[in-house]
Amino acid sequence: MTDYYEILGVARDATPEQIKKAYRKLARELHPDVAGTDAATEERFKDVSRAYDVLGNPDKRRAYDMGADPSSPGGGMGGGFGFQDIFETFFGAAGGGAQRGPAPRARRGQDALVRLDLDLAEAAFGVHREIQVDTAVLCPTCGGTCCRPGTSPRTCDVCGGRGSVQRVAQSFLGRVMTTQPCAACHGFGTVIPEPCTECAGEGRVRSRRTLSVDVPAGVDTGTRIKLTGQGEVGPAGGPAGDVYLEVRERKHDTFVRQGDDLHATLQVPMTAAALGTVLTMQTLDGEREVDLRPGTQPGQVVTLKGLGVGHLHVGGRGDLHVHVEVQVPTPADDEQAELLRRLAALRGEERPEARLAAAHPGVFSKLRDKLAGR
């Protein structure tokens, strides 16, 4: 590569002012009006002008110091030779331009993420669902060959089917052989002379498909179910990607889920809580009895074993926790009011003493606050 610093007679660390001063001095000495018009002087004047054009421009000088020659026809390292070529020459293409094989035209398709909305009962027990997905499928006309029926890919005339071409480039390291993907076939080694008209040479088309999935018991919001190989078909009939179903559980009117356990509130009359009773409540498994002992207090929890949500992948089920809410009656008439006064008298509660309860919410209130993010 031409040494422009030597042509101008300056050091490599010369300042822009020193370079400019040296150029002006040489330009005056070599100008045709001063030095005449002999061929050698004209050529020297051109070299000096070219050297100043590079070194007098900060960007060009920086490129030149890195080994490029901005004044060359390629405008870069020895006519278009770059650092990527250097890397490939010494590390990616051992032996100074070893050939690469052609790139496969068929590639794996992308994965798809589909939301699956479920009711609490479906999440608790599992369910079989049919879902519709819009995705890429194998072209029915060409079967993934990308070619019009009756035709086939043709070997690339430019690279001879190698998928890459070699060229010699001049760099600051000397002459080196580099390998690049063939621009004619895009590195595939073959070209499609007559693309399939249905898929436009893609080997796949868009279509709506129906997928069947067995949702296991115990899934929850955020659970992902993988359907291997059910995603979109890759270009040129490449392997299909996967479909991921992300579960979103709908809110239930009665039950609150915490893990695999369920929580519900059962409202009972004051008399039933005081005297005890057996009530019937609706669960995910149908009607079940809830046994209230005499003197049941507000906030007390009755646990029904095994009536919660199924444990994902391990079997068994969580529990249903019933939180008792005691309803205080309002006397409907004088007779009911008198009965309550008589009860208060029997219990010595005509003038009860006010007692402050502990400052903490009930179990279900704490659960509700936690689920609400409070």
pLDDT one-digit tens code per residue, 360-370: 555 556 566 65
Contact 111, 244 (CB under 8 A): yes
Please indicate whether the domains covering 112-153+192-249 and 256-371 agree at the CATH topology level.
yes
Residue 76 is predicted with a pLDDT of 45
Instruction: Please give the CATH topology (third level) of the domain spanning 256-371.
Output: HSP40/DNAj peptide-binding domain (2.60.260)
Average per-residue pLDDT for the chain: 84
139 is in an annotated binding site: yes
Residues in the chain: 374
Any idea which of 91-105, 142-156, 314-328, 329-343 has the lowest mean pLDDT? Answer: 91-105
Number of neighbours of residue 94 by Cβ within 10 angstroms: 10
Written as one letter, the residue type at 228 is T
The per-residue pLDDT for 91 is 46
The pTM for the full model equals 0.62
Q: Is residue 213 a contact partner of residue 245, using CB atoms and an 8 Å limit? A: yes
Higher pLDDT pick, 219 / 27:
219
Q: Where are the beta strands (DSSP E) in the chain?
A: 112-118, 127-138, 154-155, 164-171, 174-181, 190-191, 204-215, 224-227, 243-249, 256-258, 261-269, 277-283, 286-292, 301-304, 320-327
For the domain made up of 4-80, give the CATH fold. Helix Hairpins (1.10.287)
Q: Tell me, which fold does domain 112-153+192-249 have in CATH?
A: HSP40/DNAj peptide-binding domain (2.60.260)
| Rounded Cα gap, residues 177 and 232, in angstroms | 40
The pLDDT of residue 282: 95
CA atoms of 367 and 258, how far apart (whole Å): 8
Is the pLDDT reported for residue 306 higher than 60? yes
- In this structure, what token pair is assigned to residue 181? 């993907």
d(CA 325, CA 173) in angstroms, rounded, equals 87
DSSP assigned state of 234: B
Mean predicted confidence (pLDDT) in 151-166: 91
Distance CA 88, CA 167 (A): 13
**Residue 234 amino acid letter:** G
pLDDT of 172: 56
pLDDT at 173: 56
| Ligand-binding site membership of 146 (annotated) | no
Give mean pLDDT, residues 106-125. 95
- The answer to whether 147 is annotated as binding is no
What integer is the mean pLDDT of 54-77? Answer: 71
Whole-angstrom Cα distance, residue 120 to residue 87?
58
The domain spans of the chain are: 4-80, 112-153+192-249, 256-371
What 3-state class would DSSP assign to 67? coil
Confidence band, pLDDT 50/70/90 cuts, at residue 47: confident
State the pLDDT at residue 337.
86
